[in-house]
């Protein structure tokens, strides 16, 4: 059962996006497809703008719950659906900053946070670049992928990973090195 | 001081990065690894797969609650978690040459081919063969799921007749059924042409029909098999029954039940090498069990999703290297 790993999804065209949104408005169970398309984008948008993983996860959760709840009210006006998603994300970020300011007595107003529709083409490229990288991590050979997740997501030390994988620390460092070399080559359009 | 290898230099830079993920002015890495370090910085924002799947599940639950609360749709019939005619934990054979294995199962064990899903290149993506009251699944191996040699225990009405048919179909004899097996059952052993081992047994208290024992039970030979029991109990809420251990604590044999279906384990030693199996088990809540298994130490293979054949499906790997395909029947899809 195996066996069918979805390919990295490209950014959807406007028409595809419109169809997906309409389908989800008719049947909320179809929201899954939108979630899969936008999860990495929303997560990265937030993660790059907050201090820690827990906050990024809380905000991502908030954004998707709001998006699902408000989907029936969404009206298609020609702008990318992502713009709506990222406006929710921007609002969630601003609210979070206000909460954090109150708790920690931070001075001043919340910083300007650009919504997706106002992001520069460079910002958009950075988001696409990041989404592509996340996709490529999932295509690494299993051992390399596991080292990457344990090192960067679980933030384990090389020794801890070596113990868990029953490998030497040197072997784990090599797996990490090879994984990053492969990712770099693929991101630059070459082959590892 | 000896020169550090690129892998070591990279790891030092990554350690700095992880200690201060938001700091932009870290020590400059050597030019040979500078680009890789920049890439490594991007990986600090990699989302946790568990978080992604848990949030998805949460959203799906919310969706179904909304549907349930809506006045118009008719109430859904609650789905049984197990696909009809799928009572056992199925060994999932991934081999090079799946059509030949189907032929073997049909000839040797009087199996009935009930599904065959081809790939465009003619290979088999998925097939099912019913044997007695149980199911065996198979497909052609591929890069992600390479061929593995598995052991399967068959309970049949007449072990001698089945053993003879298996040899006629191309199996290699290991030993003919005998009453001297320690289990007390009449028990023989053969290897199929792919190298898989088959224990062919008849229970002394055999009760034919659906109320009897399951015809097919996966049999796992494990190194440190005693560690499987606490793992599987915690990961899948399994229950170990009839655990027989040697004086030095090695598991001679144990039967383990998950959601009403069973498999067997014992300690791999001597000529019996450890097996790494592919197993397909139906459970009441794939998402919950997937998360539970990861907490217990399993490795994620495929997060839960709705499969096109009408199951909620996911996959994890246990610490012994066995791959578990978890599934909950959604009441739709193929018959």
Q: B-chain residues within 8 Å CB-CB of A61?
A: 55, 58
Residues above pLDDT 90, as percent of chain A: 22
Least confident of A18-32, B84-98, B267-281, B286-300: A18-32
The 10s digit of each residue's pLDDT in B22-42 is: 555 555 667 777 888 888 888
Q: How close is the nearest chain A Cα to the Cα of B178, in Å?
A: 36
Q: What is the pLDDT of residue B335?
A: 41
Band of residue A110 on the pLDDT scale cut at 50, 70, 90 = very low
Contact B46/A65, CB-based, under 8 Å? no
**Mean per-residue pLDDT for A129-156?**
90
Nearest to B144 among A5, A137, A148 (CB): A5
DSSP sequence for B236-301? H--EEEEEEE-TTS-EEEEEEEETTEEEEEEE--TT------EEEEE-S-HHHHHHHHHHTT-EEE
Residues above pLDDT 70, as percent of chain A: 78
Nearest to A181 among B36, B46, B325 (CB): B36
A146 touches chain B (CB under 8 A): yes
Least confident of A44-58, B59-73, B228-242: B59-73
Q: B-chain residues within 8 Å CB-CB of A187?
A: 39
- How is residue A142 annotated by DSSP? H
Q: What is the pLDDT of residue A84?
A: 80
Report how far apart, in Å, the C-alpha atoms of B149 and of each of A142, B197, B299, B302 are: 20, 8, 21, 22
Question: Which strand (E) or helix (H) includes residue A46?
Answer: helix A31-47
Reduced to 3 DSSP states, what percent helix, strand and coil does chain A have, rounded to the nearest 5?
A: 70, 0, 30
The residues in B 133-162 lying below 8 A from A, measured between CB atoms, are 137, 139, 142, 144-145
Q: What is the pLDDT of residue B208?
A: 46
Residue for token pair 């630059």: A188
Q: What is the pLDDT of residue B79?
A: 41
Q: What is the pLDDT of residue B13?
A: 87
Query: Which of B16, B43, B68, B325 to probe the A interface (max A CBs under 10 A)?
Result: B43
Size of interface A-B (CB pairs under 8 A): 130
3-class secondary structure, A180 = helix
Contact B315/A2, CB-based, under 8 Å? yes
The 10s digit of each residue's pLDDT in B232-258 is: 999 998 988 778 888 778 888 888 989
Residues above pLDDT 90, as percent of chain B: 48
- How is residue B220 annotated by DSSP? E
Contact A177/B18, CB-based, under 8 Å? no
Predicted TM-score of the model (pTM)? 0.51
The residues in A 7-36 lying below 8 A from B, measured between CB atoms, are 28-29, 31-32, 35
The residues in B 271-310 lying below 8 A from A, measured between CB atoms, are 278, 280, 299, 302, 305-307
**Mean per-residue pLDDT for B290-299?**
93
Query: Which of B45, B278, B280 to probe the A interface (max A CBs under 10 A)?
Result: B45
Q: What is the pLDDT of residue B138?
A: 96
**Mean per-residue pLDDT for B144-151?**
92
Task: Quote the tokens at residue B286.
Answer: 């794939």
B14 touches chain A (CB under 8 A): yes
Q: What is the pLDDT of residue A104?
A: 53
Q: What is the pLDDT of residue B112?
A: 92
Residue for token pair 């932009």: B24
**Mean per-residue pLDDT for A76-98?**
78
CA proximity to B134, closest of B104, B91, B95: B91
Task: Quote the tokens at residue A18.
Answer: 């419109």
Contact B60/A32, CB-based, under 8 Å? yes
Question: Which strand (E) or helix (H) includes residue B328?
Answer: strand B323-329
Task: Quote the tokens at residue A173.
Answer: 């460092």
Q: What is the pLDDT of residue A43?
A: 92
CA proximity to B146, closest of B92, B100, B187, B189: B92
Q: How many CB atoms lie within 10 A of CB B170?
A: 16
Contact A174/B7, CB-based, under 8 Å? yes
Q: What is the pLDDT of residue B82?
A: 86
CB B178 within 8 A of CB B186: yes
Alpha-carbon distance B35 to B33, whole Å?
6
Alpha-carbon distance B156 to B72, whole Å?
51
Contact B39/A180, CB-based, under 8 Å? yes
Nearest to A184 among B39, B44, B142 (CB): B39
Q: What is the pLDDT of residue B22?
A: 55
CB B115 within 8 A of CB B138: no
Task: Quote the tokens at residue A60.
Answer: 């991502």
What residues have CB less than 8 Å from A128, skipping those under 6 apart? A11
**Mean per-residue pLDDT for B257-284?**
91
3-class secondary structure, A67 = helix
Q: What is the pLDDT of residue B159?
A: 94
Residues A36-50 as b/e (b if ≥16 CB within 10 A, e otherwise) read ebbbbbbbbbbbbbb
B176 pLDDT exceeds 90?
A: yes
CA proximity to B308, closest of A8, A3, A68: A3
Reduced to 3 DSSP states, what percent helix, strand and coil does chain B have, rounded to the nearest 5?
A: 25, 30, 40
Query: Which of B59, B128, B141, B314 to probe the A interface (max A CBs under 10 A)?
Result: B59
Nearest CA in chain A to B300: A146
Sign of CA dihedral B35, B38, B40, B46: negative
Q: If you average pLDDT over every residue of chain B, what do you get?
A: 85
B312 pLDDT exceeds 50?
A: yes
**Mean per-residue pLDDT for A78-107?**
72
The residues in A 88-107 lying below 8 A from B, measured between CB atoms, are none
**Mean per-residue pLDDT for A78-95?**
79
B211 pLDDT exceeds 50?
A: no
Q: A-chain residues within 8 Å CB-CB of B60?
A: 29, 32
The 10s digit of each residue's pLDDT in B78-90 is: 347 888 888 899 9
A182 touches chain B (CB under 8 A): no
The 10s digit of each residue's pLDDT in B72-130 is: 333 333 347 888 888 899 999 999 999 999 999 999 999 999 888 888 777 898 999 99
Q: How many residues does chain A have?
A: 192
B289 pLDDT exceeds 80?
A: yes
């Amino acid at each position: 059962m195996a066996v069918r790993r979805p390919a990295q999804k490209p950014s959807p065209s406007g028409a595809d996006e419109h169809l997906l949104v309409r389908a989800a408005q008719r049947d909320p169970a179809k929201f899954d497809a939108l979630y899969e398309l936008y999860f990495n984008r929303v997560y990265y948008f937030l993660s790059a703008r907050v201090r820690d993983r827990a906050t990024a996860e809380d905000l991502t959760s908030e954004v998707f719950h709001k998006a699902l709840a408000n989907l029936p009210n969404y009206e298609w006006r020609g702008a990318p659906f992502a713009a709506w998603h990222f406006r929710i994300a921007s609002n969630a970020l601003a609210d979070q900053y206000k909460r954090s300011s109150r708790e920690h007595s931070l001075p001043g107003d919340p910083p300007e946070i650009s919504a997706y529709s106002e992001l520069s083409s460079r910002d958009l490229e950075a988001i696409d670049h990041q989404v592509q990288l996340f996709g490529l991590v999932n295509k690494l050979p299993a051992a390399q992928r596991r080292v990457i997740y344990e090192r960067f997501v679980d933030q384990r030390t090389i020794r801890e990973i070596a113990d868990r994988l029953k490998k030497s620390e040197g072997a784990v460092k090599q797996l990490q090195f090879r994984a990053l070399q492969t990712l770099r080559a693929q991101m630059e359009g070459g082959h590892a | 001081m000896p020169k550090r290898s690129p892998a070591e230099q990279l790891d030092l830079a990554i350690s700095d990065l992880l200690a201060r993920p938001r700091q932009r002015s870290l020590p400059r890495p050597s030019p040979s690894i500078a680009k890789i370090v920049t890439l490594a910085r991007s990986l600090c924002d990699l989302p946790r797969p568990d978080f992604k799947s848990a949030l998805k599940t949460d959203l799906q639950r919310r969706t179904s609650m909304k549907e349930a609360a809506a006045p118009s749709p008719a109430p859904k019939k609650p789905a049984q978690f197990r696909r009809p005619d799928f009572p056992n934990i199925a060994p999932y054979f991934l081999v090079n040459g799946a059509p030949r294995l189907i032929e073997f199962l049909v000839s040797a064990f009087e199996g009935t081919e009930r599904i065959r899903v081809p790939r465009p290149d003619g290979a088999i993506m998925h097939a099912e063969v019913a044997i007695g009251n149980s199911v065996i699944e198979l497909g052609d191996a591929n890069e992600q799921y390479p061929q593995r040699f598995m052991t399967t225990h068959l309970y049949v009405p007449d072990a001698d007749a089945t053993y003879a048919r298996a040899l006629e179909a191309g199996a290699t004899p290991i030993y003919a059924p005998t009453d001297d097996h320690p289990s007390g059952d009449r028990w023989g052993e053969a290897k199929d042409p792919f190298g898989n081992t088959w224990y062919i047994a008849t229970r002394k208290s055999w009760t034919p029909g659906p109320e009897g024992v399951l015809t097919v039970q996966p049999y796992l030979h494990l190194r440190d098999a005693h560690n499987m029991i606490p793992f599987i109990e915690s990961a899948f809420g399994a229950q170990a029954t009839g655990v027989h251990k040697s004086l030095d604590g090695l598991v001679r044999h144990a039967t383990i039940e998950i959601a009403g279906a069973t498999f067997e384990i014992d300690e791999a030693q001597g000529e019996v090498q450890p097996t790494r199996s592919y197993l397909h088990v139906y459970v009441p809540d794939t998402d919950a069990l997937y998360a539970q298994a990861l907490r217990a130490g399993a490795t994620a293979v495929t997060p839960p999703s709705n499969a096109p054949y009408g199951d909620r499906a996911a996959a994890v790997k246990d610490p012994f290297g066995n791959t578990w395909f978890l599934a909950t029947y959604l009441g739709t899809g193929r018959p």
